[in-house]
Chain A
Amino acid sequence: MSNITTNKEIKKVLFIGAGSNDFGREAEHDAAIYQVMPELRGHGVEVFVIDENPYALSLESLAATTFWQQLTVENIKKIIREHHIDTVAPLFGGQSSLRLWAEVVQSWAYGDGTMPNTLGLSIDMLLKVNNLPVLTAFMSEHGLPVINNYVLKAQDEANELLRELQLPLMVRALHPNQTNTRHVVERLDDFEDAINLAKVQSVTQEVIISRAINGLKEVSLEVLRDFRGNKMQIGASEDMDPIGIHTSDSLSVSPILTIQDQLIGKMRDYAFRVADMLQLQGIMHVQFAVDDETRRIYIIKVSPYIDQMATRMALATGYPTMLVAVNLAMGIALEDIVLPHNFGVNAAMMEPMMDHVVVKLPVFPFGELSEAGVSVKRQLNSVQKSIGTTLGFGRTFIEALEKAIRSAHFNNASFSPTNMANINDDELIQQLIHPQDNRVLLLIEAIKRGYEIDELAELTAIDEFYFYQLQHLHTLEVEIEADTDNIESLRRGKRYGLSDGLLARFWHTDFNIIRTLAKENSINVSYKAVEPSAGEFPENARQYYATYETENESVQIHDNAVLVIGSGAFRMGDAASGGYATTITLSELRRLQYPTIIMNNNPSDATLLPHLADKQYLEPLEISDVMRVVELEKPQFIVIPGNRRKLIKALRNLGQRVVILPKERHTPNGPNENQSEFALNLFYDGHDSYPINLTQHMAGEMRIIPQIAKMPDDLLATHIDNPGVYQVIWYQNTTHWKEHVDTSNIGHDTWLRPMPFGQVAYLTKAMQIQWIRLTIRAATNEMTEEDNAMLSTINQRLTTEQIGVIASDVNYRLHLQPSKVIDGTRFEIGVSVKHYG
């Protein structure tokens, strides 16, 4: 039995989407599927995709037959049966999709017909990957360094292990009679007690011992393998935060800065051996725990599928990751991969090199929750608490860090430096040992108070390098602050990525003054390309980031380009809908043949996919960042989400034409448990309003009311500023789904608002009408006859299929330990389709 999948056998491929968004599951999988489906189609393969997420772009792809259905074993089997699917691609949908496909495989019965192949992994390996103890044992058999768990009963067995494994050790109870029995033993004296305690805590008096790895460095490698066994490394990153803090919650840096070549080489070798062991055809993320001093390395996680590391590395390096990954899965050898012409001839085979630094910062939901009076446990640990990701690009660590902070934390009060001064020394030490989301500022505060670097490195298990860097930043800030209006200071500050806003605060002035001062003194931004050869070869790059150096590589792309301002990180409330709206906007502008430019910093959604725009700026989205791009590109207009009021005003003041994507700053409200929120939905094309339909929203669920919507007369007179989808909403105390609502009295106790993007995505899929595309057409005067005809009768069209959406069951207790129940309607993270009736 050969594991080699060849092209010829593959005719119909089904992609399994990742499902609704959740902690650790932003839109990266959907972005990957959305990107690779047309590539497969280009290979002459018929493509199918199933997902339940209303924000899934892949479900709106023209390259595939799409199924907006709940991700269940039955639904998948049905599609396979009815469409004669011969191959299933679960690896692009990540772990949840792999698990689901493993369930399908395990429940496959004689009557189900021939089981389709799995793209990229054999069934045998797929099942191994899906079973952690089996996978760990498999790696151990192959001589790979994994953390083994030893189960034992007697003290003398424990003593043997102590000598073999050495301290520190993790001791916990097998079959525990209480929740947390983990105990890290660092001193010999504690060993016996820990064993005895764990025995008491175990129903069977058995103890699990393993090596403790808390405090070690966490490193990630991204590798590829083709069917011939050729392997390459396409990215690597190190976490500043030690193991013990979930990697998604860690500050991560690419390239690896603090670990020596020999250790990285070893990790690369291990990752390659895992890829060979799994006979992988595709992409894999391997996570390691590294002990610099003893030079020990442990493999802590193996993910042979798309995850956030994959999409982050693709963006950080400019390597065509997804296109290559899908070719490898199809059984095409590395050397035979043909890439679109904008990539170098050998781009697929060259390991990407970086001449810039990329810092990833997580985005936490704490701010939004505390505004709503929900307090949560902010202390970071091995359970993920962040929900979003942003990247900062720069030529130094400090510059990249400053930009990542600006991308991740604008408007976040806990990041205010003044906040830090109020922390007393005891709290400071407590927080150094038990870090929270704002630990970077805390570290700077500790340096400010004169803690020694050795001491801090010891307390926090963070590499000294980072403290030297933060110390450097602190010195820089102090010097600049003391040196008001000094041009050399300004130059130094800009070089290290300090924003106009921050410099303005130091010098007690306005950011516009700083901007002008910089301009007058030729302190100009220079954009550098993100391309995978690090300058070795002439590039045809589309991605740029700002820095302050001599040579600028970015020139105006076109006289008539359109600049789209992205929505930034995945945040609570907006969930993935912001990225969805931005991506569709780009796609529609491209269809209308506008040269497009996107500015954004979120690696986990589709907005920065290379094929979606003619040019990308990987930048924070503060006013000064946008202004600099506008000055260079002189776009014919700028598309901005409506909630960016200050930015809109600033751009209009500069005489820029602004197209607004109607959106309100998210105000967390929605129906409470005893209420329904009703909406009369309408489209405004710039001249007239057209009623669309009516929807009912109960806590956690939304449906379309089967009733023809009519526009009340008083509403026709209401002035709306920008084209788009709007709704008039009102509340009623009812918890029953309505077949009909009275709209005669509308205008009383109701209000008009832009329809949240989440609902726009729902209506788009349920009605099969592309509302965001229509909005863009209306805003650019590109509406067609058909559009007008459609709009004038749209309210007559009653959806026969009963499709609603439902908030998914996010485990807030596990992740955030909130003080009270978090309402999924108000703090939406994930949504999925629900067929009712």
Chain B
Amino acid sequence: MANKEVLDNASLQRALTRITYEIIERNKGGQDLVLVGIKTRGEFLAHRIASRLEQLEEVKIPVMAIDITNFRDDVLNHDDSLGLNDEERTNIADKNIVLIDDVLFTGRTIRAALDALIHIGRPKTISLAVLVDRGHRELPIRADFVGKNIPTAQNEKIKVFVQEIDGRDAVEIVH
């Protein structure tokens, strides 16, 4: 059975654009801003937002990616490397962090990312941007910037496709 496309290429682009404007609106021009993408797709989205900021403001905003597989509360054996080098770790102190992920679901991934960020440095603020908020939160976490709210059933899956790995941009509900 065919998947249902809920965001096509154009609306996905628009969502990223709007998130970018809102980040600027709420960060007064983007001083001390650092974008942190949650691997894998969040990282590409973070770079997209950074390049939009660059087009608009003609400044380069630092982007880093974190891999939180090892920080999930349902996974034992915390490894604190997160794939970051030392310089990147110190970088986030006193910065305004925008954490970026593709889908916000239970909130556990975000919680792990927050743990990880606080673990490696002490940012000034952390806000959250997601391309899709599909509901069903299990933790008191909400996104500051949302591309699109897509109400879903528990048993449905949301799949985000990005040009960089999937060859196209789209969000689909997978049956």
Interface residues of A (CB under 8 A from B): 1-3, 122, 141-142, 229, 276, 279
Residue of A nearest to B13 (CB): A229
Name 10 extra pairs, CB < 8 A, besides A141-B2, A276-B9, A279-B167. A1-B167, A2-B163, A2-B164, A2-B167, A3-B167, A122-B167, A142-B5, A229-B9, A276-B10, A279-B168
Chain A neighbourhood of B9, CB < 8 A: 229, 276
Chain A neighbourhood of B168, CB < 8 A: 279
Residue of B nearest to A229 (CB): B9
Complexed CA–CA distance, A122 and B168 (Å) = 12
Chain B neighbourhood of A142, CB < 8 A: 5
Chain B neighbourhood of A2, CB < 8 A: 163-164, 167
B46 to chain A, nearest CB (A): 18
Chain A neighbourhood of B167, CB < 8 A: 1-3, 122, 279
Complexed CA–CA distance, A18 and B2 (Å) = 37
B161 to chain A, nearest CB (A): 12
Chain A neighbourhood of B163, CB < 8 A: 2
Chain B neighbourhood of A279, CB < 8 A: 167-168
A-B contacts, 7 of them at CB < 8 A, read A2-B163, A2-B164, A141-B2, A229-B9, A276-B9, A279-B167, A279-B168
Residue of B nearest to A141 (CB): B2
Chain A neighbourhood of B2, CB < 8 A: 141
B54 to chain A, nearest CB (A): 16
Residue of A nearest to B169 (CB): A229
Complexed CA–CA distance, A3 and B167 (Å) = 6
Complexed CA–CA distance, A141 and B1 (Å) = 11
Chain B neighbourhood of A1, CB < 8 A: 167
Complexed CA–CA distance, A122 and B163 (Å) = 14
In order of increasing CB-CB distance, the 3 nearest A-B pairs are A3-B167, A1-B167, A141-B2
Interface Cβ pair total, 8 Å cutoff:
13
Chain A neighbourhood of B5, CB < 8 A: 142
Chain A neighbourhood of B164, CB < 8 A: 2
Complexed CA–CA distance, A279 and B167 (Å) = 9
B16 to chain A, nearest CB (A): 13
Residue of A nearest to B164 (CB): A2
B171 to chain A, nearest CB (A): 15
Complexed CA–CA distance, A276 and B5 (Å) = 14
Complexed CA–CA distance, A229 and B167 (Å) = 12
Chain B neighbourhood of A3, CB < 8 A: 167
B168 to chain A, nearest CB (A): 7
Complexed CA–CA distance, A279 and B161 (Å) = 14
Complexed CA–CA distance, A131 and B163 (Å) = 25
| Contacts of B128-165 to chain A: CB distance below 8 A | 163-164
Complexed CA–CA distance, A3 and B161 (Å) = 14
Chain B neighbourhood of A122, CB < 8 A: 167
A310 to chain B, nearest CB (A): 25
Complexed CA–CA distance, A229 and B9 (Å) = 9
Residue of B nearest to A276 (CB): B9
| Contacts of B104-133 to chain A: CB distance below 8 A | none
Complexed CA–CA distance, A142 and B10 (Å) = 14
A420 to chain B, nearest CB (A): 53
Chain B neighbourhood of A276, CB < 8 A: 9-10
Complexed CA–CA distance, A643 and B164 (Å) = 60
Chain B neighbourhood of A141, CB < 8 A: 2
Residue of B nearest to A272 (CB): B10
Chain B neighbourhood of A229, CB < 8 A: 9
Residue of B nearest to A143 (CB): B5
Residue of A nearest to B3 (CB): A141
Complexed CA–CA distance, A140 and B10 (Å) = 19
Complexed CA–CA distance, A343 and B113 (Å) = 54
Complexed CA–CA distance, A229 and B5 (Å) = 18
Complexed CA–CA distance, A142 and B2 (Å) = 10
Complexed CA–CA distance, A2 and B168 (Å) = 8
Residue of A nearest to B168 (CB): A279
A796 to chain B, nearest CB (A): 60
A232 to chain B, nearest CB (A): 15
Complexed CA–CA distance, A552 and B85 (Å) = 72
Complexed CA–CA distance, A276 and B9 (Å) = 8
Chain A neighbourhood of B10, CB < 8 A: 276
Complexed CA–CA distance, A472 and B104 (Å) = 66
A377 to chain B, nearest CB (A): 44
A6 to chain B, nearest CB (A): 14
Residue of B nearest to A137 (CB): B2
A768 to chain B, nearest CB (A): 45
Complexed CA–CA distance, A108 and B9 (Å) = 32
